[in-house]
Amino acid sequence: MRMHITLALQNLRMRKFRTAGIACAIAIASATLFISLVLTLSMSTSLRLSMAQLGADVMVVPASAESSAEGVLLGAKPVRWHLSYTYAEELEKIEGVEAASPLAFVEPPRECCSLRGVVLVGFDPARDFIVMPWIHRAGGLGRMQVFAGSEYALTPGSQVELYGYRFRIAGRMEPTGIPYFDRGIFMPLSTLYLLTQRGGGDLREGQVSVIMLRLSPGADAERVAEAIEFNFPELKAVVAQRALANVRNQMHLLLGSLLVLSGVIWGTAILLISVILSMSVRERMREFGILRALGATRRFIFGYLMAEVCILATLGGALGVGAGYLLLSQVSGYISASLGIPYPMPDRLYAGLLSVGVIDLALLLSTLASILPAYRSSRLEPYHAIRAGE
């Protein structure tokens, strides 16, 4: 085996152009596959997480905010409207509504806070069913205490400065895949109002961004939404399942196209590898004949060619995965913005497993593409192979 690898490496090193050609074909195919898989899996996870973490069945926003409501539900688009807190009390009276939780989102100016890109999230501790379960698990929220999103490496007890005030971190959330939550600093609405008044923000006391509704068991979300819009024409009720289905359909269309593209690229790459190897076998017939004359078995010749392909596939696969990861990390913001849903980069373990999977697949497909040329070269009659090169 060591000799196969030595010979294969030497051959790849000396035939740089062919090596680069095959490795590039494998790299492009692997990168496309890696990107498609990461996007598919990450976004599916993100949607699942959003549903589960929010725990809301209906989201209420001003009627004018309808077009970007789905983006808000998934937390990828900024909130640029306000509605009155009092709607929470009114909405709870509608049949089928079990709880109403008002939330206010504020993206403060950069200079206000010691954290960059932070989102301040205000909630009503008396009504909330979205943030409070996390806070309860961490042991509650004291005076001048806030709760941190998962994106910040803040340990409980550490401090954060917001609008000149120092707050102590009471706990940290699990990653949710929702930017408003992961980049959020959570505090009671009353605290948020005080801070924004001091900082000159446009959120006034009594205003919130959205009201999340949890429905009673068995309640029909569509009917509740209709009732809300009938009673409050100035509001829009977004049913979570419907909004997610719309996003999911959009996403599936895009990802389906990506996977088809990846399949086409892999098909082309397999064909290319097979053709290049077949040409290479013809060009190297004398080499194989000489090796056979020196005592190499058919199995050795087959193994030698397969070792070459395996090295190329690993190299190309690794390059492709690396390039795919880099590309994704550069354009993740753009993807998220254009699809209107959060796009969390996969964590290291997840990305590592996916990389190994893609490289293994590259190995498998490249091996399949090269079996026939390698088999043919191993079956050549040595004398014929030597003479063919003359």
Partner 1 sequence: MLVSVNNLTKIYRLGDYEVYAVRNVFLNIDRGEFVAVTGHSGSGKSTLLSLIGGLSKPTVGRVKIDGVDIWELGDEELSALRNRKIGFMFQFSSLLPTLSVRQNMLLPASLAGADEREAEARARELLEQVGMEHRMHAYPWQLSGGEQRRVAVARAFMNHPELILADEPTGDLDEDSEALVMRMLRRMNREEGTAVLLVTHSRELAEQAERRLVMRRGRLLEVG
Of 63, 58, 59, whose CA–CA distance to 236 is shortest? 63
Query: Does residue number 121 form part of the binding site for partner 1 (CB under 8 A)?
Result: no
| Smallest distance from partner 1 to CB 317, Å | 23
Of 190, 59, 222, whose CA–CA distance to 120 is shortest? 190
Between residue 331 and residue 370, which ones bind partner 1 under the rule CB under 8 A?
A: none
Pick 123 or 288: Cβ nearer partner 1: 288
Between residue 258 and residue 287, which ones bind partner 1 under the rule CB under 8 A?
A: 286-287
Piece in contact with partner 1 (CB under 8 A), picked from 59-67, 68-76, 102-110, 292-300: 292-300
Query: Does residue number 198 form part of the binding site for partner 1 (CB under 8 A)?
Result: no
Instruction: Identify the residue among 14, 126, 153, 349 touching partner 1 (CB under 8 A).
Output: 14
Is residue 328 within 8 A of residue 42, CB to CB? The reply is: no
Query: Does residue number 1 form part of the binding site for partner 1 (CB under 8 A)?
Result: no
Piece in contact with partner 1 (CB under 8 A), picked from 4-12, 26-34, 83-91, 103-111: 4-12
Query: Does residue number 390 form part of the binding site for partner 1 (CB under 8 A)?
Result: yes
Amino acid residing at 341: I
Instruction: Identify the residue among 157, 200, 217, 295 touching partner 1 (CB under 8 A).
Output: 295
Query: Does residue number 47 form part of the binding site for partner 1 (CB under 8 A)?
Result: no
| Smallest distance from partner 1 to CB 367, Å | 22
- What's the rounded Cα separation, in Å, for the pair 325 and 165? 39
Q: Which residues bind partner 1 (CB under 8 A)?
A: 3, 7, 10-11, 13-15, 286-287, 289-300, 381-384, 386, 390
